[in-house]
């Protein structure tokens, strides 16, 4: 009887000694299996759906389709269709001959003001809006250019409200085109030039 007890005790002791070995052997085996599975999956070609996005189609629009034409009594010109004309409340009175106000409702808040005035016996340089800008050389920079057969003087203001104005004349009549924006200087000169390039005098 005592021998059976001793035998059972020895077997229990041997099992205790074997447990750490079994634990570590099992753990190492699982790690090796995990590494093998990872390597196998990484060698397989990728599977799944690949969506190929087509580049957006570029829509070419005729420049004339993007612009409207103002037809006045003394002059005509084209302007971007995004601008809306402001209705006049007060009638035009001499020496003012014609005026047009256009605005765009966007973040730039861009406006176009076109005015034609009879300067009577005064010289071109004595036109009031022209003289005010020339006398304020700190705010406005001046340069000259000939576009569309028109000898034009440009005044540029590089602080808010940003502005580019163009002045030219025909006889005693002085035309001014002023494009302004409270937020940006970008594109104002090009906007003025596009109006000048499309400008035509209306023969009376």
Quick one: 162 and 122 in the same domain? yes
Quick one: 119 and 177 in the same domain? yes
pLDDT at 68 over 70: yes
Residue 36: domain span: 1-47
pLDDT reported for residue 54: 39
Quick one: 99 and 127 in the same domain? yes
The C-alpha atoms of residue 62 and residue 191 are separated, in whole angstroms, by 17
In a domain, 29, yes or no: yes
CB-based contact 192:154 (threshold 8 Å):
yes
In a domain, 58, yes or no: no
Quick one: 120 and 186 in the same domain? yes
CA distances from 25 to 35, 37, 63 (A): 15, 18, 79
Q: pLDDT tens digit string along 112-125?
A: 999 999 999 899 99
Q: Which residue has tokens 């004595």? A: 126
Q: pLDDT tens digit string along 152-197?
A: 999 999 999 999 999 999 999 999 999 999 999 999 999 999 999 9
Quick one: 90 and 159 in the same domain? yes
Quick one: 187 and 105 in the same domain? yes
CA distances from 162 to 106, 144, 187 (A): 15, 19, 11
CB-based contact 66:78 (threshold 8 Å):
no
Q: What is the domain-level CATH number for residue 83?
A: 3.40.1000.10
Model confidence at 57, in pLDDT bands (50, 70, 90)? very low
Q: pLDDT tens digit string along 119-164?
A: 998 999 999 999 999 999 999 999 999 999 999 999 999 999 999 9
In a domain, 52, yes or no: no
Tell how far CA 18 is from the center of its chain.
75
In a domain, 56, yes or no: no
- The residue with greater pLDDT, 7 or 119, is 119
**Total number of domains constituting the chain:** 2
In a domain, 33, yes or no: yes
CB-based contact 166:176 (threshold 8 Å):
yes
**For residue 141, what are its two tokens?**
């920079």
Q: pLDDT tens digit string along 22-38?
A: 556 666 766 767 666 56
Model confidence at 13, in pLDDT bands (50, 70, 90)? low
Least confident of 33-37, 50-54, 58-62, 87-91: 58-62
Quick one: 136 and 98 in the same domain? yes
Quick one: 37 and 75 in the same domain? no
Quick one: 71 and 168 in the same domain? yes
In a domain, 194, yes or no: yes
The C-alpha atoms of residue 203 and residue 54 are separated, in whole angstroms, by 52
pLDDT at 69 over 70: yes
pLDDT at 85 over 80: yes
In a domain, 57, yes or no: no
Quick one: 99 and 194 in the same domain? yes
Q: Which residue has tokens 């000259």? A: 144
Quick one: 128 and 157 in the same domain? yes
In a domain, 168, yes or no: yes
| Pairing status of strand 140-147 against strand 150-157 | antiparallel
Quick one: 102 and 6 in the same domain? no
């Amino acid at each position: 009887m005592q021998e059976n007890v001793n035998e059972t005790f020895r077997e229990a002791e041997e099992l205790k000694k074997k447990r750490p070995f079994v634990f570590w052997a099992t753990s190492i085996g699982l790690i090796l299996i995990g590494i093998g599975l990872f390597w196998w999956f990484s060698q397989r070609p990728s599977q799944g759906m690949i969506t190929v996005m087509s580049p957006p189609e570029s829509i070419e629009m005729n420049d004339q389709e993007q612009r409207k034409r103002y037809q006045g009594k003394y002059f005509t010109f084209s302007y971007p269709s995004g601008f809306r004309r402001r209705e006049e409340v007060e009638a035009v009175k001499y020496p003012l001959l014609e005026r047009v106000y256009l605005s765009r409702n966007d973040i730039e808040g861009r406006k176009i003001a076109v005015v034609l005035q009879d300067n009577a016996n005064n010289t071109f340089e004595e036109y009031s809006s022209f003289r005010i800008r020339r006398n304020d050389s700190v705010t406005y920079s001046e340069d000259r250019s000939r576009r569309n057969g028109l000898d034009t003087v440009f005044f540029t203001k590089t602080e808010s409200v940003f502005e580019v104005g163009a002045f030219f004349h025909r006889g005693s009549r002085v035309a001014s085109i002023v494009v302004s924006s409270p937020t940006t200087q970008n594109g104002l000169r090009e906007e003025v030039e596009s109006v000048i390039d499309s400008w035509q005098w209306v023969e009376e």
